[in-house]
Structure 1
């Protein structure tokens, strides 16, 4: 409790807090993660699911996966951490959310201008003509098609999720790095910090003088540079910090 008090005081006194979130935030909403011992890669071949080259030859494989693990995002509800970050932003105590997640739950909770490093299924486009489609339009198409096709040219539709073999969107990454350089507090939650370039965000923030706080169930390679590290369940942490936020 004392360390959570310390975290609250750091956030309260900071001028530019940024948050970096990973899969641990979304598993609280009932969504599976990718890299845990029981993660999705134990059930699906990651070299095929998010391979751009494989998608071009067999899009049906990806959309079989998507039916089980991406389309349910539409019905998922934000977790305590999503609500916490939305409330921090509403109270002008949080500058920006940067996330590795593709589930759109930060936006659903109320955060504005979320930086989605790995893209979002909310945006979809035809790989042939570039026509754009919404997440809802894709779901409607999947009900009658093995994989969604463009109604203009017949090309395959691909969600704007970063596949292996694709570069991250430069504008999103540049903005995330800028926010890290400008931050005086970097709150990291629910990520193992083993995937680049997301893992470099707290390093950049620390280099430029920010206080770094890491909250994760397990140790991370960057615990050494953090000012405060808490290994705990995120729902417990989130509930306690939310109570402090609502009583101060």
Structure 2
């Protein structure tokens, strides 16, 4: 129970990678707050984690983030671990990306990081071992076609990680990113459905289009990403900061 009594807040904690991270942190004794837009999904995960609370919010809204984090503190005290997991992805040729689609992706994948990190920072600076872990993507360290807004936003997420890590290096706060390859989540399922509808390929062929990037020829499992996030959240990881750690089966950048 290496995180006994530590308050961990996970955005996008109602499904996929976020839910897996919440379970991994709870297994080490952390008190969990799950933040996201869908109360029902958050509550379903929280019901499996003793003492976990939920604080539904639109994390693209600064005031909503502040209110949710205040609710989290009222339940579990100051925040010691912030996991920025919530994200959004769409696919389209760059020439067809609308300004609205671009802005929506940036709002979730970049602006929300700004809001959440600023809101949690006073707590993290006072914590014995404050931790910020952002779930980025291999798209943050390389490019993929037809996902320009997503790739740009994940590069920004890693840039923010590196900037904050240096700025906070004199404190007890570490700031890192985990970069999964294509992972077995709802987002990837939607991508597979899009490939099938636009190309007429079978599900197996559409899946192969994604797994070809991974030398192990498979999707990453959410639990694998959660293990990396857990490690970075531990007090013993105090010398690991400013890193973008790939969980991608050997995918070359």
Q: Determine if the TM-score, normalized by the shorter chain, exceeds 0.5.
A: no
Which is richer in strand? 1
Query: TM-score, structure 1 length as denominator?
Result: 0.30
Larger RCO (CA under 8 A, 6+ residues apart): 1
Structure number, greater radius of gyration: 1
Which is richer in helix? 2
Query: TM-score, structure 2 length as denominator?
Result: 0.30
